[in-house]
A and B are shown apart, each in its own frame.
Chain A
């Protein structure tokens, strides 16, 4: 039933030049908007929503989903070329993507990102089509205690997120958690660490902080000693990737995609959580963890597969339950409402064709992103040929624009500059900044859900062990923490 309507819709779209044209247009717009720092996928959709007012619902859906899918990859372009994440979903891509581009392999980095995005997206879509009811069931079991356990799991993983001392990484991560508390408390609206100033009341937004830490911090770092030893422009290098470089990473792609789909399916978790866990997971499993952060392909592949797969994942609660999986699907829901299709359990039960529209749209958008993306790589890598002194100016300008545009608030620009200095000082002191990003993303989620869980259980901590999913996650955390101890005891025992 669903399959036949899926094929019907697919053939219908493929035979219509108008539809194909719209997919390409949506993809190009999504790529460009996504690549501009500060314009997240959510905003790209909101900006382009009025364009669809006069379209038929199916057509509008196709256009908006094209924008959505391609903006996820678009965000990675600026992450790789300028160390500026265009969207929150691409904040981990830059960690290995930018060094790779600096080594003259910008084309390769973009290819890795694009191909793993496409494959991740396909796997996410396949899981959406085949497992939506099962995954929706799984997602509804995710309540506050499970959220808290996932966030805890991510924070434990952060100790695997950077080279060097675990203690240092944990301390930096903890600073990130504390910074995530600034502003209005999510549960009581009480002010914390705001010094009663309007500026800090808005809280420290993730994107300006990341832009400052990584983007501006990098420029400041490069300016040191720039006059004595001007930086050489990296070579463009080969743009096309040897196929075996990609196929040999199928495991990484698969793991990233599965993590992305599952986390995407949990309502309100979002792609930033998916990429942070996928990145840390890959680094932990890697045989060469020290290569991460120096331009290692696995460090691009895992988060890119995860962020695209989370798109399919985030559509699962929307289709199965009528609740948006994240803010991006919330905007999609808003767009549907404008077309008189209020999402909810009824819509999807009564309109199977509509579900087919969504599936076909995601598929076409993925293919269009791959094709358009491949075509754009050659042009995009030319960015690395811009003389460094000019490039730094561009990046600085984009840092300011990106920080401002996220909430239209000048305070976010000051926050960005302050964190640029922090990023600079950290790199001078050889301290890792990645764990701070983990703390910033996961800290607020952990705190909110931990407190709510304890409200539900009236203060009893056993709630975390009584529920199977959170119990398993907590056991894994305990195991991960005790690995060094276990290893040590093993060595001692063997010596006996």
Chain B
């Protein structure tokens, strides 16, 4: 019995003794331990896919393990806070989109965006308007006519306030001069299901979740809210082509906490850009319907600032900006 205790304590001591060595080894050049990519939505969604695909490429490029952490909840705020509060050592980065911008205006407890440092811009996710094929409507013109006749005739499925398809559902009807009855669904997958089962007739989702259904002909895409046509749906005209001046998009970018040392930040930015431009990522992303537009850190920051200016008035008009966060 005594012998066993001796052994146990020796083992414990050895373990503790080894701890500082681990730290000592860690002084080498960046990166020398796993990089954590925070995804603020649950496993299986669009952001999760981006995080895992980029993580896979990044691990080869930077020659270190990359771990994806799904830190979810509170409309994405919990995950964004996790990124903003992380040690700025280059080992915690995250995937973010429009939701963080909306939350920063709507939710007083959500982290403000000045706590985040954009590292690379990945893609645009243009808004679009879809309609179930069995409504028989296949042109924007026919849709606008139908909505003018009976504004409550067709119901639209979209996110709760602040989600990208909610923002699209605010902006697109304004440009079309129509009204819209909006039914909220918690996420894109339930919205697609509602559109397919006929609970709603239209939706304002971005292209990736409905791409296959559009190709199969069960859903008609009436217009895309971007400057150019969507690469995966070249036959669908933009709203601009059809005479309605509306351009609105969500985005995917990679961010880290503010204060990453300059040399590490540069390495990280270069690695992320290489990952976004890698053959494997480009092929997979295109197939899933993403519109890649890889940009470096400076341009990503400019895009983020632009999105803030776009979203603020929308949320303010809808009465969603929290009183404490109102601009003068």
Contacts and interface: CB of A to CB of B under 8 A. Distances in A.
Interface string B260-295: 000000000000000000000001100110000000
Given A186-B160, A408-B69, A323 B43 contact: no
A328 B152 CA distance: 35
Contacts of B162: 189
B70 A46 contact: yes
Nearest to A346: B216
A324 B187 CA distance: 13
A201 B77 contact: yes
B184 interface: yes
Nearest to B215: A346
Contact of A345 (B55, B82, B184, B213): B213
B74 A198 contact: yes
Interface stretch (A8-16, A156-164, A374-382, A448-456): A448-456
B156 to A, nearest CB: 12
Interface centre among A50, A184, A185 (most CB of B within 10 A): A184
B57 to A, nearest CB: 10
B74 A337 contact: no
B74 A184 contact: yes
A143 B56 contact: no
B73 A202 contact: yes
A187 B185 CA distance: 6
Interface string A267-290: 110000000000000000000000
A42 interface: yes
Nearest to B287: A340
B212 A343 contact: yes
A45 B215 CA distance: 28
Nearest to B69: A408
Given A186-B160, A202-B78, A324 B70 contact: no
Given A333-B44, A344-B212, A409-B78, A323 B71 contact: no
Contacts of B192: 323
Contacts of A455: 183
Given A346-B212, A407-B72, A324 B287 contact: no
Interface in A161-188: 183-188
B108 to A, nearest CB: 7
Interface range for B: 35 or more
B131 interface: no
A308 interface: no
A188 B215 contact: no
Contacts of B73: 183, 201-203, 205, 407, 409
Nearest to B99: A189
A408 B160 contact: no
B74 A203 contact: yes
Interface in A315-341: 317, 321-324, 327-328, 330-331, 333-334, 337-338, 340
Contact of B288 (A42, A322, A342): A342
Contacts of B194: 143
A188 B185 CA distance: 9
B189 interface: yes
A322 B213 contact: yes
Contact of B42 (A50, A323, A324, A327): A327
Contacts of A268: 189-190, 193
A49 B199 CA distance: 33
B70 A198 contact: no
B56 A50 contact: yes
B13 to A, nearest CB: 21
Given A189-B161, A347-B212, A201 B71 contact: no
A140 B197 contact: yes
Interface string A477-489: 0000000000000
A328 B212 CA distance: 20
Nearest to B320: A189
A53 B109 contact: no
A452 B52 CA distance: 34
Contacts of B71: 407-409
Interface of A: 42-43, 45-46, 49-50, 53, 140-144, 183-189, 191, 194, 196-198, 201-203, 205, 267-268, 317, 321-324, 327-328, 330-331, 333-334, 337-338, 340, 342-347, 349, 407-409, 411, 448, 452, 455-456
Given A49-B52, A344-B215, A407-B70, 10 more contacts: A53-B56, A140-B196, A184-B74, A197-B109, A201-B107, A202-B73, A203-B73, A321-B196, A342-B211, A345-B218
